[in-house]
Amino acid sequence: MNFDKELDARGLNCPLPILRAKKALAEMQTGQVLKIISTDPGSVKDFVAFAKQTGNELLSSGENNKEFEFFMKRK
């Protein structure tokens, strides 16, 4: 999937991946896509909730070799 910015949240734990993602999205334009890589298993549910609350769209969420990958579109 195409993306405009990448956030490496590997090794970070709750709530840092969410806080970093929020910061990254704030610096982006509407419609741009942020790719997030995390190793925190809790972030899978947290990014769904984050998207629902903030209105930024979670385009996809997947696991690859114990790493989680999210694509989020800026509101």
Partner 1 sequence: MGATPEIAVIDDLINKRLDELLPQKLESLLQAREDSKTPSMAIIATRGTLDWAYPPFILGSTAAALGWDVSIFFTFYGLNLLKKDVSDLKVSPLGNPGMPMKMPFGPQWFKGINWNIPNLIQAGVPGFETVATALMQKTIANNGVATIEELRSLSQEADVKFIACQMTVELFGFSHDDFISGVDYAGAATFLPVAQTADVALFM
Is 31 an active-site residue?
no
Give the footprint of partner 1 on residues 3-62 (CB under 8 A).
11-16, 18-19, 21-22, 39-40, 49-50, 53-54
C-beta of 34: minimal distance to partner 1 in Å?
14
The pair phi, psi for residue 69, each rounded to 5°, is: -125, 130
Going by the DSSP 8-state scheme, the letter that residue 4 receives in this structure is: S
Using the rule CB under 8 A, is 70 a contact of partner 1?
A: no
Which residues pair with residue 67 across a beta bridge?
Answer: 64
Measure the CA–CA gap between 58 and 23, rounded to whole angstroms.
16
Q: Which of 6, 8, 11, 14 is catalytic?
A: 14
- Residues labelled as active-site residues: 14
